[in-house]
Structure formats: C-alpha cells, structure tokens
Amino acid sequence: MGSERITLLSRREIDKMRRAGALAAELLDYLATLVKPGISTLDLNDAAEEWTQAKQARSAPLGYHGFPKSICTSVNEVICHGIPNAKQVLKDGDIINIDVTPILDGYHGDTSRTFFVGTPSPEAKKLVEVTAECLHRGIAEVKPGARIGDIGAAIQEYAEANNYSVVRDFVGHGVSHIFHTAPQIPHYGTRGKGKKLKAGMVFTIEPMINEGTWEAVTLDDGWTAITKDGKLSAQFEHTIAVTKDGVEILTLSD
C-alpha cells in the first residue's frame, strides 16, 4: 500500500466518470424498487444485468478475478462480495447491500447502498443510518491538501462513538478505466497521516460498519465475506473526485 503512483484524471476523464457514476446511481434507484420480501438475489442480479445491457454498458464485476455474477448482494451478516443466488430469497426485516459497477464508455461507476427489506428492526435501522452518515462524514473531509487518514479518522470516530466497528480487510480504492487502483482508502485511521489529496484524484469511499467485531471471514466460495460473530454489517459507497475547492460525488442520479 502507498507505493503505486496515483493518477490524476483530466476534465474529460472526470466527465466520463460522472456519466458512468450517474448510470450506476440510476441502476441502484431501479433495483431499490425491486427489493421486497420474496425476491431472490439472483432475480436482482438478472434485472441489473438486463438494465445495464439496455444502457449499452457492461457489468464490471462479471468475470472480475472470476466473480461469477453482475452485482454483489450482501445480506445481513455478509460484509461484502455476496454472490447472487436463486435460493437466497429476501425476507421481511433483512438488510441488503447492493453494490453495482457499470462500465460506460470505458469508465467505472462504483456505488452501493444498504436497503431495508420490509420493516427493519430498530437495531438494523440504527446501523444502516450510522453507516450512511459515516460515508458522508468521510466525504466531507475531502479537499486538496487533506490527508487520506483524515477520511478514515472521521469514519472511525463516528462509528465507534456509536459502539460499532469498522471493517479493516476491505478499503476504498482509486477507480477510473481501471476498477481497482491506487490509492487505497482505509475507513479507519489517524488525522494528518497518509498521502495528501490533490485535485483530479478519483476514488471510492465505501465504509463497512459492523454491529459487533470488525473481523471478517471469507466463505468457501472464495468471495462472500461475513462477520466473524454473525452480527449485522452495513455499507454505503460513492465514487468521488477531488476538485479544486473540495469534492464532487460522481455517483449521483441525474
């Protein structure tokens, strides 16, 4: 970590990232309308793939290092990288993170949200709300001259003040025509530490926040990461650009 060079994107490249990002946000808006008790995670995957193709885009996860599906669907204790499955049917009270990454005109829009299936428990509702706020507090740190550690520190402070933990094993990342590149963006850290942010850097912030321990275990499928204690985990992700005077969220619907 920290040795690779960080590419600065041109205005033209950021325009393409904004278009890919808007498409990704619109895909999540569409999938949100389908999240209900009784739908399977494979149904969500297939709807996402069909929608993406109709927009002349491609699903980056499909075949990425062997990932078998078009989106990640991470239910309840799944931290991230859940694989859509016909046998996994959503039920009232579940929480599900849907993580999408369409590639449009060569550029990636990477975003995720955690949705409630039916009516959430008060515990699930609080975890999901705190996780969304963690993402926004991380984004609020971004401006030229700030440090990567400032982002993680803001997220960690808010998560831990709410008695939750921050996942260590998965981090945000640079994203462009490449899905995962430098820099790495930990969701924990120390203010004033880490590389300095510069205008033109584009990366994701994607905190995974757990009710219990931060420790993760990967299942035998080689992908699905779950909490070691089986307690709930939530996540939100945006792709952002560092601008001259602050930050622009690229994964917002038009």
User: Which partner from the list Co ion, ligand MF3, none does 61 bind, CB cut-off 5 to 8 Å by kind?
Assistant: ligand MF3
Tell me which amino acid residue 40 is.
S
The span from the CA of 110 to the CA of 204, in Å, is: 7
Q: How far is the CB of 64 from ligand MF3 (least distance, A)?
A: 4
- In the chain the beta strands, taken as DSSP E runs, fall at 58-59, 72-75, 78-80, 95-100, 102-104, 107-108, 111-116, 165-166, 172-174, 181-185, 202-205, 208-210, 216-218, 225-227, 233-235, 238-243, 246-249
206 binds ligand MF3 (CB under 6 A): yes
99 binds Co ion (CB under 5 A): yes
101 binds ligand MF3 (CB under 6 A): yes
Interface pattern 46-75 for ligand MF3 (x via CB under 6 A)? ---------------x--xx-x----x---
Peptide bond into 207 cis (omega under 30): no
Among 237, 239, 242, 249, binds ligand MF3 (CB under 6 A): 237
Among 26, 77, 94, 110, binds Co ion (CB under 5 A): 110
User: Which partner from the list Co ion, ligand MF3, none does 211 bind, CB cut-off 5 to 8 Å by kind?
Assistant: none
23 binds ligand MF3 (CB under 6 A): no
Q: How far is the CB of 101 from ligand MF3 (least distance, A)?
A: 5
Residue number of the CB atom closest to ligand MF3 = 61
70 or 229: CB nearest Co ion: 70
Q: Which of 137, 237, 147 is nearest to 192 (CA)?
A: 147
Residue 62 is encoded by which pair of tokens? 């499909």
Q: How far is the CB of 237 from ligand MF3 (least distance, A)?
A: 5
What is the footprint of ligand MF3 within residues 72-91 (CB under 6 A)? 72, 81
User: Which partner from the list ligand MF3, Co ion, none does 67 bind, CB cut-off 5 to 8 Å by kind?
Assistant: ligand MF3
The span from the CA of 98 to the CA of 73, in Å, is: 5
Q: Which of 20, 42, 6 is nearest to 238 (CA)?
A: 20
Q: How far is the CB of 192 from ligand MF3 (least distance, A)?
A: 26
The span from the CA of 241 to the CA of 233, in Å, is: 26
The span from the CA of 185 to the CA of 197, in Å, is: 11
Do residues 28 and 111 make contact, with C-beta atoms less than 8 angstroms apart?
Answer: yes
Q: Which spans of this chain sit near Co ion (rule: CB under 5 A)?
A: 99, 110, 112, 204, 237
